[in-house]
A = this chain, B = another copy of it.
Amino acid sequence: QQESLIREGVSGFLVFDWQIQFADQKQEFNKRPTKIGRRSLSRSISQSSTDSYGSAASYTDSSDDETSPRDKQQKNSKGNGDFCIKNIKQADFGRREIEIAEQEMPALMALRKRAQGEKPLAGAKVVGCTHITAQTAVLMETLSALGAQCRWAACNIYSTQNEVAAALAEGGFSVFAWKGESEDDFWWCIDRCVNLEGWQPNMILDDGGDLTHWIYKKYPNMFKKIKGIVEESVTGVHRLYQLSKAGKLCVPAMNVNDSVTKQKFDNLYCCRESILDGLKRTTDVMFGGKQVVVCGYGEVGKGCCAALKAMGSIVYVTEIDPICALQACMDGFRLVKLNEVIRQVDIVITCTGNKNVVVREFLDRMKNGCIVCNMGHSNTEIDVASLRTPELTWERVRSQVDHVIWPDGKRIVLLAEGRLLNLSCSTVPTFVLSITATTQALALIELYNAPEGRYKQDVYLLPKKMDEYVASLHLPTFDAHLTELSDEQAKYLGLNKNGPFKPNYYR
């Protein structure tokens, strides 16, 4: 099955069956900053929080070199100096981090193997702007193995793993990124990526839309040669839909944020693990017997509830949507309004995508020691600002953990100041990032190889078939064996034996 999928892929990258304009969804994105895709936005934070745990971090932190990278003369061991990073000497350490990541990114490694025969990205000149982490490095080195030239900047001023950047520079990549850039540094780095005598990029890989924005603003003519944009974040996708709506999108763009596989992994499966991880690392709380209220029963809420129930917590759910509410009931959770349980619960978790779900009135009524955290959309769900009043005392007891103390001595335990718990206080497994990175690589290949006219100046979703292909590349990790349809069965079902196996709306 996989054999044939892969073979199909080699040539098949050129043959996309479905073109989905997804008008309704665009409308969605224009209206509101949906929960969908938020994870890609913040992934870097997660990586940098990993830093503070792993040995890599301590290594970095001990660096006391205060000279700005921009002021340094930099060269790697081969004499190449077309990069700007913190410290090239950290390359060996970074290389090991990359090697560790490779083990959990089976799909990219499989793409590399296939690329020994052909180079679907031969001639591609990719400018990229993403978090610079070990996982990104595996992606970049895969793109390179597939034939692409890459120039890269960071999409976040804090998220760069300096050692990884060093390893990339040592390996010959033109990387412009370090941890702790100023805003000026940030745009300087992006510009260095794009603006090089004799270099005309033809593909953009963006995370947040800043790189795209910069080119629009400074080098609009570059778009004439650009074949497409691949964008991962919800923010970036939102910007693209707005450009498209305004008729200003001048190249095709691929939204890699909304594939089923990515959504399920990032939300349901990943949160099922990270809610436990985040709570333990910050509070060491025992889950057994604790009463918890989870606000919101979407994919994130479902993951949180399932994990906590399994650990022996008693879980209550709040919802606004009757369908999700009915699901919560059938899954064994009492559906309540927050005020019904706020006095009795030990832990409050928000995952609604909404704002002001936990307001001061609720915070006032929580019991002593109640833990409050957010797994949902940015930092709006808990009204943290309402706690910045004179009569309340804040006490930082651990990194990312504050005690907020009422005049009567009651204290609540606020995690990550209401920002995303799992990205602030735990880590995202490489295996999850692997799915996104693979989707990015395939999207680049598709846009780069698509015949003239297949893609208009619009925002596209990856077709179901590609989504299935990404999934299939991750199955060997689990030693999972897919069944292949017989000809007779395929005919009976009216399906192509190589998929797609489900309609595009299937979740």
A493 CB to nearest B CB, Å: 5
Alpha-carbon distance between A368 and B494 when the two chains are bound, in angstroms: 36
Known contacts A335-B480, A489-B355; A504/B272 CB under 8 A: no
Check: A228 CB closer than 8 A to any chain B CB.
Answer: no
**Alpha-carbon distance between A502 and B89 when the two chains are bound, in angstroms:** 51
CA separation between A396 and B334, bound complex, in Å? 33
Those of A1-38 within 8 Å (CB) of chain B: 1, 5, 24-25, 28, 31-32
Partner of A481, one of B340, B467, B486: B340
Q: In the bound complex, how far is the Cα of B32 from the Cα of A369, in angstroms?
A: 42
Binds B, one of A199-207, A278-286, A446-454: A278-286
Residue of B nearest to A428 (CB): B284
A333 within 8 A of B: yes
Interface string of A334-356 (1 = CB under 8 A from B): 11111010001000000001111
Copies in the complex: 4
Among B336, B344, B482, point to the contact of A322 (Cβ < 8 A). Answer: B482
A125 to chain B minimum Cβ distance, whole angstroms, is 32
Q: Which among A280, A306, A502 has the highest number of chain B CB atoms within 10 Å?
A: A280
- Tell which of A68-76, A141-149, A157-165, A309-317 binds the partner: A309-317
- Annotate A455-484 by CB proximity to B: 1 below 8 A, 0 otherwise: 000000000000111011011011111111
Given contacts A323-B261, A475-B322, contact A329 B502 (CB under 8 A): no
CB contact between A273 and one of B25, B311, B397, B492 (< 8 Å): that residue: B311
- How far is it, in angstroms, between the C-alpha of A331 and the C-alpha of B54 when the chains are bound? 28
Asked whether B478 lies within 8 Å of A335 as measured between CB atoms, the reply is yes
Q: Is the CB of A269 within 8 A of B478?
A: no
Residue in chain B with minimal CB distance to A469: B322
Within 8 A of B (CB), among A54-70: 54-55
The stretch of A172-180, A287-295, A436-444 that contacts the partner chain: A287-295
Tell whether, in the assembled complex, residue A337 and residue B481 are in contact, meaning their CB atoms are under 8 Å apart.
yes
Residues of B with C-beta under 8 A to A471: 322-323, 325-326
A467 to B495, CA, bound (A): 29
Nearest neighbor of A481 in chain B, beta-carbon distance: B337
**Shortest beta-carbon distance from A60 to chain B in Å:** 14
Q: Are A332 and B289 in contact (CB under 8 A)?
A: yes
B residues in contact with A281, CB < 8 Å: 53, 277, 280-281
Evaluate contact between B310 and A311: CB separation under 8 angstroms: yes
Q: With an 8 A cutoff between CB atoms, is A488 at the interface?
A: yes
Asked if A426 is an interface residue, CB under 8 A from chain B, the answer is yes
Any B CB within 8 A of the CB of A44: no
Q: 11 A-B residue contacts at CB 8 Å?
A: A5-B322, A54-B397, A261-B323, A270-B286, A284-B429, A289-B329, A309-B309, A321-B501, A322-B475, A335-B480, A505-B507
Q: Which 7 A-B pairs have the closest CB atoms?
A: A31-B494, A310-B310, A335-B480, A286-B429, A322-B471, A322-B472, A289-B329
Known: A325-B482, A354-B485. 17 other contacts (CB 8 A): A24-B503, A32-B493, A32-B495, A53-B398, A269-B312, A273-B276, A276-B277, A288-B330, A289-B480, A309-B332, A310-B311, A312-B329, A314-B334, A321-B499, A325-B471, A325-B480, A326-B480
